[in-house]
Amino acid sequence: MSIAPIGPVGPAIGAVASPAAQGATGTGGDFAQSLTGAVDDLQQLQSTSNQLAVQAVTGNLDDIHSAVIAATRAQVTLEVAAAVRNKGIDAFNEIMRMQA
């Protein structure tokens, strides 16, 4: 399942993390590449958001909507990444409890 981009602000994380988009062969390296790509996209979204915020504050930005959209996308993407991380940690802890 991939997330379609809202506008010209930047690529969506789902487009990079999708195994179908990368032609995954089922190896562990593909998961690592997908995870790395997702983190890189998150950093790019945050960088774009920061650049547009600086332009908005300095008065160099004509369309404030793009800055708001970029900030919202970066925030939502970060929240999704944190949720995925928390679920991974919960799963790891559950597996460790099974072994004890």
Helix ranges (H only) for the chain are 13-17, 19-22, 28-58, 64-99
Q: How many residues does the chain have?
A: 100
35 pLDDT band (50/70/90 cuts)? confident
pTM for the whole structure? 0.65
Cβ atoms within 10 Å of 15's Cβ, excluding its own: 16
Say what percent of the chain tops pLDDT 90.
62
For 43-92, the pLDDT digits (tens) are: 999 999 999 999 999 999 999 999 999 999 999 999 999 999 999 999 99
How do the domains of the chain map onto residue ranges?
A: 13-99
